[in-house]
Amino acid sequence: MESEGYTAAEQRGLLLATSIGTLCTPLMSTMMNLALVHIGSEFGVGSRDLAMVNTIFLLASVAAMVPAARLASLYGMKKVFASGLIIMMVCALLAVFSPSFTFLLLMRFLLGVGSACVIVTGIAMVTYVFPLSRRGWAIGVNTTSVYLGLALGPTVGGILSDAAGWRSLFVAVIVIAGLALVGLLLFRREVVPTPGGRMDWPGAALWAATILVLMYGVINVTYVWGPVLVVIGLVLLLITSRYLARRDQPVLETKIFHNRLFSRSCIAAFMNYAVCYAGSFFQALYLQSIGDLTATEAGLLMLVQPAVQVLLTARFGALSDRLSDKRLLPTAGMAVTAAGAALFLCYGTVCSFPLVVFQMVLLGLGIALFSAPNTTVIMSSVPLELRGEASGMVAVVRQTGMMIAMGIAMACIAVIMGSTDNLGPAMYGMFVTTIRLTFAISLVLAVIGAIASWTRGGDPLADKP
């Protein structure tokens, strides 16, 4: 199991496969945004139903991540990673021939399950296979693929949707997942952290039910039944936590949260995504309404932030390998991210493009400083046999942070504007107020994240069994 036992060729093959596979998940999410109008027109559904196309994908991926991580630890991470790619390819092929909107949603749900298998095993295998001296760089490369997917998704989705229809987007998923599967052939060994254990299926079912109910309530908190689901989800969370704490071999080993370095690093990651994710949503609306840009112009301008992240993430991951104090880069990243989020408070009813571009650079720099170094700390802070569970939590905090961000944004929109369907010149003042309220809340989360990052504790980074 030691990372030093793997050859350079095996390390390169694995990094190639996991990076391509990881690229697929943000592409599957962001590409679909540009196809929703076409899907709605073909199946005769409205905006509320169309929102489920991405929502159900995110919900399924978060619900499946912890069970997938446990299965990978028991039976082999390579097997689960490959299974996830195959699920994605099969479901994407079926989605191409979707006869109804309901069938499309079912395929999107199963695609979310497949993506969970890929996400939770990718970083875990990279952590096992790469030595500590190169781990931050390798995780940085893997993380960069996420940002590359976010950057390319809208452009690729728009071009394919206009040129060949929305069904062609699923063909792209098949091709990319297939490339990742081919790349996996270069890595011939298996990674099995805890062979001989047993799967906790009741715990897996409890976890999935808790996540589905709680997160669906958060996303729909502006509806009357949303808060009810949140309360039910919190009760389920308490029941699930007690169940897991009493199990001999639970689906999620809760003792890893007793590790202050691990738990506070996860809190920081959750806050980072909760602060940042809604930014692009508001920027897109702001640039097209108050900025009077076309969708294409706004999309091209918004490439600034992911471009910064793609260029710098792996570099900061490599830098973290050389620093003795692993708190420095993640905490600095949270501070820079907070500064970028604070610039939303400067938005007005007259668009300042230099301000928006400077903000994108700051946010991109902050995320690049934070993401790979913080993930390296999380993955290296737990014993070898628990890195599958740790990888699952990295993905869970990322996805739930994103959903919380959109929940906050939707709540602020509902309270101040009602909806963005009526976003015209008469509503610009209220829209700016909505943005400012959203990111005033986000700044509080950023401060909490920075404190959690700096107070996470000492440096336990070692490959300890």
Whole-number average pLDDT of the chain: 83
DSSP-H helix ranges across 290-352:
295-301, 304-322, 328-342
DSSP-H helix ranges across 185-248:
201-219, 225-246
- Enter the pTM of the model: 0.76
Domain ranges, ordered by start, for the chain: 1-199, 200-250, 256-465
In the predicted model, is pLDDT for residue 147 greater than 90? no
Domain formed by 1-199, architecture: Up-down Bundle (1.20)
Per-residue pLDDT band at 421 (split at 50, 70, 90):
low
Cα 115 to Cα 60, 94, 353, 395: the distances in Å are 9, 16, 36, 11
Q: What is the pLDDT of residues 305-363, one digit of tens each?
A: 888 888 888 888 888 888 878 888 999 999 999 999 999 999 999 989 999 999 999 99
How many CA atoms, within 13 angstroms, populate the side-chain half-sphere of residue 335? Answer: 9
Neighbour tally for 41: CB within 10 Å: 10
370 Cβ contact list (under 8 Å, min separation 6): 268, 272, 329, 330, 332, 333, 334, 337
Q: What is the pLDDT of residues 353-405, one digit of tens each?
A: 999 999 999 999 999 899 888 888 887 787 776 777 777 777 778 878 887 88
Assess contact for 66 and 147: CB atoms under 8 A: no
**Mean local confidence (pLDDT), 164-176:** 89
CA distance 199 to 81: 17
228 Cβ contact list (under 8 Å, min separation 6): 217
Per-residue pLDDT band at 422 (split at 50, 70, 90):
low
Q: Tell me: domain 256-465, CATH 3.40.50.720, correct?
A: no
Closest CA to 169 of 42, 295, 17, 33: 33
Domains 1-199 and 256-465 share a fold: yes
Dig out the tokens for 167 from the structure. Answer: 């069904």
pLDDT at 90: 95
Q: Is the dihedral of CA 429, 435, 437, 443 positive or negative?
A: negative
Max mean pLDDT among 28-32, 238-242, 297-301, 408-412 falls in 238-242
CA distance 125 to 127: 5
Closest CA to 172 of 96, 83, 80: 96
Q: What is the largest CA-CA distance in the chain?
A: 65
pLDDT at 188: 77
